[in-house]
């Protein structure tokens, strides 16, 4: 299995090597670690050096990190160009939704310009995009990436209306499900409606969850429980969903066996 989105570089992981070992023991063979800004991208690369082929780095510029400047986004774009052969994706990038500043019209216009720059870079360097585009931002991000000519993308922790979800699927993009799929109706409905060849599994650790995960540190080993929950909802076997989500992640990120 593959955790398609986990921030193992985050300072909330006091012992990333322990988390990686527990993931491997649980049958998770690779973890995509998306950076969120210049310093985070450098930390992701440090981690990759220790676990080549297991930690798969992506370089990004998180849309909700309002402390980052225009200069920072240029720095990330330069790093993507430099490292294009050693990264598996551009991300996490996207559009802001949470908090007061995300509601500011000027801020949103600037964020759309930034996203379209990253989308064009992904096309230029033949890399997929990892998108953060919650709720109404999903439809807006979809328009931007289609205009840029993006052919490979995942809408991470997707939460939007059914019409937008169908448009994303029809455009050939992927949608990833988090541990919330084990206990939250919205995510469970999504798990039932998606075609099997469009689903990815992710933890988005260290983000903490409720339900059966309450009080536990979110680790990539939890992918096993995400896959089990999806299989249960779709009335199929664990093996079938493990195989499908792994094949989807391999196709999206071009991960070799
Ligand atoms: Zn994330």
- What's residue 101's pLDDT? 81
pLDDT of 233 > 90? The answer is yes
- Inter-axis angle of helices 223-233 and 185-193, nearest 10: 70
Q: Which residues are placed with Cβ below 5 angstroms of ligand 1, an ion?
A: 92, 204
Report, as an integer, the average pLDDT of 151-160: 97
Beta-carbon contacts of 103 under 8 Å, excluding residues fewer than 6 positions away, are none
Which pLDDT score is estimated for 226? 98
Q: Averaged over 70-79, what is the pLDDT?
A: 96
For residue 34, the CA-to-ligand 1 centroid distance in Å is 7
How far does residue 73's CA lie from ligand 1's centre (Å)? 17
CA 256 to centroid of ligand 1, rounded, Å: 23
pLDDT at 87 over 80: yes
Domains of the chain: 2-253 (3.20.20.140)
Ligand 1 geometric centre to CA of 7 (Å): 6
Average pLDDT value over all residues in the chain:
96
257 pLDDT exceeds 80? no
Angstrom CA distances, 148 to 119, 158, 171, 202, stand at 6, 21, 13, 26
Per DSSP, the three-state class of 215 is coil
What's the CA-to-centroid distance between 205 and ligand 1, angstroms?
8
Residue 181 is predicted with a pLDDT of: 98
Per the DSSP assignment, residues forming a β-bridge with 56 are: 32
Tell me the pLDDT band of 105, cut-offs 50, 70 and 90.
confident
Per-residue pLDDT band for 104 (boundaries 50, 70, 90) equals: confident
Q: How far is CA 7 from the centre of its chain?
A: 10
Please say whether the beta carbons of 200 and 177 come within 8 A. yes
Q: How far is ligand 1, taken at its centre, from the CA of residue 246, in Å?
A: 19
pLDDT at 136 over 90: yes
Pairing verdict, β 55-59 and 174-177: unpaired
Q: Are 196 and 246 in contact (CB under 8 A)?
A: no
What are the E-state strand segments in 60-118?
A: 89-94
Model pTM above 0.85: yes
| CA of residue 239 to ligand 1 center, whole Å | 26
DSSP, collapsed to helix, strand or coil, labels residue 29 as coil
Instruction: List the strands of the sheet with 30-34, edge to edge.
Output: 2-3, 30-34, 55-59, 89-94, 129-132, 153-155, 174-177, 199-201
On the question of pLDDT at 247 being above 90, the answer is yes
The pLDDT of residue 100 is: 80
Mean pLDDT across 20-26:
97
Return the pLDDT at 27: 98
Q: How far is the CA of 132 from the centre of ligand 1 (A)?
A: 7
- Give 58 Cα–ligand 1 centroid separation in angstroms: 11
């Amino acid at each position: 299995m593959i955790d398609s989105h986990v921030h193992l570089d985050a300072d909330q992981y006091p012992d990333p090597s322990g988390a990686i070992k527990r993931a491997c023991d649980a049958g998770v063979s690779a973890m995509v670690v998306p950076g969120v800004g210049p310093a985070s991208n450098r930390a992701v690369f440090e981690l990759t050096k220790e676990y080549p082929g297991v930690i798969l780095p992506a370089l990004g510029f998180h849309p909700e990190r309002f402390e980052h400047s225009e200069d920072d986004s240029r720095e990330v774009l330069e790093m993507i160009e430099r490292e294009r052969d050693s990264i598996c994706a551009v991300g996490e990038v996207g559009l802001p939704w949470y908090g007061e500043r995300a509601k500011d019209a000027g801020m949103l216009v600037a964020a759309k310009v930034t996203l379209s720059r990253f989308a064009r870079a992904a096309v230029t360097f033949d890399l997929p995009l990892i998108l953060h585009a919650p709720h109404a931002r999903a439809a807006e991000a979809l328009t931007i990436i289609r205009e840029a000519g993006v052919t490979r993308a995942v809408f991470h922790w997707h939460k939007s209306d059914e019409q937008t979800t169908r448009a994303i699927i029809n455009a050939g993009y992927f949608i990833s499900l988090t541990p919330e799929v084990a206990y939250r109706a919205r995510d469970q409905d999504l798990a039932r409606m998606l075609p099997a060849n469009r689903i990815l599994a992710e933890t988005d650790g260290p983000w903490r969850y409720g339900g059966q995960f309450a009080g536990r540190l979110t680790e990539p080993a939890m992918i096993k429980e995400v896959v089990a929950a999806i299989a249960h909802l779709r009335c199929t076997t664990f093996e079938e969903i493990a195989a499908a989500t792994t094949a989807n992640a391999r196709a999206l990120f071009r991960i070799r066996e």
